[in-house]
Structure 1
């Protein structure tokens, strides 16, 4: 969900009922395995997912490095179009605090810079929707994976690039996370451009959800069912 709608600390401290957590135990990369093998297991070692090929170039999700990326992400957060929905405008320390809270957590939310042919141009948060406060407001399934995204520069907006990137990232998630059957997103319903980009990327709107701080369109991209071999 929008990081300002519920605090990152709230996301990191969410405690799920034992019977819900039990659903994960036989599925593979669950919270218990993460404690044993390292936090990256919660998202199946996102840093190792590899590239996605788009018509605009090769997309890579690079987990954030505070020293390298804070100033850039802060500049994007101060763009009025971005700030209207992310609400993280301000000095770089505001962005750094937001990023640091995720990096200091257990790996259920990973902030990334998206590069296209090596050039940084987007910011992503890939997160375990089933371990997020989003689970309090709508039905989720074990290993559902959520996406937040912003396109950094104005020149990269309004030409269909967002749709292509979202489709590619959803494909990457479903390829890298065998236990994940759905990719979720919850853009603000007022953000018609974002909602349209998700629809164009193969998501469908399944509900309108009242979340703290915003009314969200719940977007779902399901893993395509495989036919008989």
Structure 2
């Protein structure tokens, strides 16, 4: 997978230092390539073009209509995918993340949430627009023409399956971008004692209205639970927000992650956050 965004703070797309709430929705969680400080408290871990009619809808003044049409498209795609079990079965043999597309929905305090694997022909304009939000660009560094974001997505989609880019769909509306990846197979594993099947998360909340109201914490907990529920071989969920992004670190802590260590990554000093299966019931 490509090097993760420079800042993986939990409040994807939030104004970096302005969100004081521990539940930042501006969750810009992105697990970059961390490096663990020796002796740190880590308990021996081991490594669209959219159709013209949709574009017109997005450009229309009635944003609600546009979002509804887009959400409907995603729902239709999901139903179509459900009718192709043979294709899924064939690809799942090499799936390193236990087929994220089949993980299903999770009920959260904010509504029903689901991860939907990205399709560039459908999702690129939306994700690129989010990446060009200055608050998001400050961490992900993917601002610019659609081709910049497309290259980032393609490196994962056309890769070996160790990283899966997804839209986060809440009550039928795409509102966040996620990357679920094998931390133990990523460059990140060179910087901390990884364990087999460690699973990492990167996240950004797309809409300004969804940031700073605790949504980030709710979704982080829900997705971490999905990982642990759907990946029996995974004992821990990993993340490493920028250490300077206090709201992001707080959101992870509120979502049941523990602070394990400070790590020196190529682009930042990060807080290594860990959600342990063994401590799931008490955090």
Both proteins in one fold, TM over 0.5: yes
Shift of 1:191: 1.8
Among candidates 34, 44, 47, match of residue 101 of structure 2: 47
- Find the counterpart in structure 2 of residue 195 from structure 1: 249
**Equivalent-residue separation in structure 1 for 2:167 and 2:92 (angstroms):** 25
- Relative to structure 1, is the Cα distance of residues 163 and 36 closer, same or farther in structure 2, using a 3 angstrom cutoff? closer
Shift of 1:37: 5.3
Q: What's the CA shift string for 1:156-206, capped at 9, x where partnerless?
A: 000000000000000000000000000000111122221111111000111
- Find the counterpart in structure 2 of residue 153 from structure 1: 207
2:228 aligned with 1:174: yes
Shift of 1:214: 1.2
Among candidates 74, 81, 91, match of residue 145 of structure 2: 91
Q: What's the CA shift string for 1:56-75, capped at 9, x where partnerless?
A: 11000000000111110011
Shift of 1:226: 9.2
- Relative to structure 1, is the Cα distance of residues 36 and 200 closer, same or farther in structure 2, using a 3 angstrom cutoff? closer
**Equivalent-residue separation in structure 2 for 1:36 and 1:65 (angstroms):** 16
- C-alpha RMSD over aligned residues: 2.2
Give yes or no for contact 1:114–1:122 (8 Å, CA) kept in 2.
yes
1:10-89 aligned at under 5 Å gives the runs 38-39=93-94, 41-89=95-143
Give yes or no for contact 2:166–2:179 (8 Å, CA) kept in 1.
yes
Unaligned stretches of 5+ residues in structure 2: 7-32, 34-45, 48-89
Matched position secondary structure for 2:136: helix
Shift of 1:4: 3.8
Shift of 1:38: 3.8
- Relative to structure 1, is the Cα distance of residues 89 and 181 closer, same or farther in structure 2, using a 3 angstrom cutoff? same
- Relative to structure 1, is the Cα distance of residues 224 and 214 closer, same or farther in structure 2, using a 3 angstrom cutoff? same
Q: What's the CA shift string for 1:124-154, capped at 9, x where partnerless?
A: 0000000000110111100000000000011
Give yes or no for contact 2:116–2:166 (8 Å, CA) kept in 1.
yes
**Equivalent-residue separation in structure 1 for 2:153 and 2:92 (angstroms):** 23
Among candidates 111, 117, 124, match of residue 178 of structure 2: 124
2:190 aligned with 1:136: yes
Q: TM-score normalised to the size of structure 1?
A: 0.82
- Relative to structure 1, is the Cα distance of residues 159 and 107 closer, same or farther in structure 2, using a 3 angstrom cutoff? same
Specify the structure having the higher radius of gyration (Cα): 2
- Relative to structure 1, is the Cα distance of residues 37 and 118 closer, same or farther in structure 2, using a 3 angstrom cutoff? closer
- Find the counterpart in structure 2 of residue 165 from structure 1: 219
